[in-house]
Amino acid sequence: MPAWEEILCNLTDIRLTPDQLERFSIYERELLDWNTRVNLTAIRDAEGVRLRHFVDSLVCGLAFPDGPPANLVDVGTGAGFPGLPLKILWPDMKLTLVESVGKKLRFCEHLVEKMGLAGVSLINARAETIGQDPAHRERYQAAVGRAVAPLPVLAEFLLPLVKPGGLALMPRGSDTPQEAEAATGAIRKLGGDPGKLLPIQIPGVEGQRYLLVLNKKARTPALYPRLPGTPAKSPLS
């Protein structure tokens, strides 16, 4: 099988520089090391990290054929995916990482320092809380979430953070076409439009992947996101 950076290039035409590859090498090493002590991700082998984390994160670049957004917020970033790989790809982009689990955010903070990345903000908060914060609400050109949550729930987390005219990105699995169709009403309630659905097949990764791109067409009503826990308990329809 080709090296992961060749797979990435074949999928996206993204060609990583030696400096970027060195940062990804640091990322891989630190993630595998920390994961022996802290439960950051279920993927614990180098090939899995490269394909299921690095490549799966970087395919988000397909949503920006004309260049990266000025700023991006990654909600439920976990061990930094997909936000930190995108920051390595686009070093001038301002990045905000949002994560409610402190140990995961501490890993991201360590990694940002280790890789020498500037312009990264880290916030220990729930998505519902930051979505109602005037400092962050509708302040971003793009929001991304790879969290395992039903699509209407993730849309309620992401779209309130995006400026009208911006994008919400969701790398997801094989059920995405049906999920997206069923969530159309919820997406529109939040000021969004279903946008594009890009199929992604990563060699060595079982199952079809998709990148769902939502367009932010109008301002999100003040009601959303609802109180913490409510979107998951009662998803929009």
pLDDT digits (tens, 9 = 90+) for 193-227: 989 999 999 998 988 999 999 999 999 999 999 99
Distance CA 132, CA 13 (A): 37
pLDDT in tens, 59-108: 999 999 999 999 999 999 999 999 999 999 999 999 999 999 999 999 99
Check which CATH number belongs to the domain holding 212 and give it: 3.40.50.150
Q: What's the whole-number mean pLDDT along residues 142-153? A: 92
| Residue indicated by tokens 């290039």 | 9
At 107-141, the pLDDT tens digits run: 999 999 999 999 999 999 999 999 999 999 999 99
Contact partners, residue 105, CB within 8 Å, separation at least 6 = 77, 97, 99, 122, 123, 124
Q: Which of 236, 223, 140 is nearest to 187 (CA)?
A: 236
Number of domains making up the chain: 1
Mean pLDDT of 3-31: 96
Q: How far apart are CA 190 and CA 171, in angstroms?
A: 19
Angle at 157 between CA 156 and CA 158, to 5 degrees: 95
Q: Evaluate if residue 237 carries a pLDDT over 80.
A: yes
Q: Are 40 and 79 in contact (CB under 8 A)?
A: yes
Beta strands in the chain (DSSP E): 71-75, 94-98, 120-123, 140-144, 162-172, 192-200, 209-216
At residue 84, what are phi and psi to the nearest 5 degrees? -70, -40
Domain containing 122 equals: 4-233
CA 157 centroid distance within chain? 12
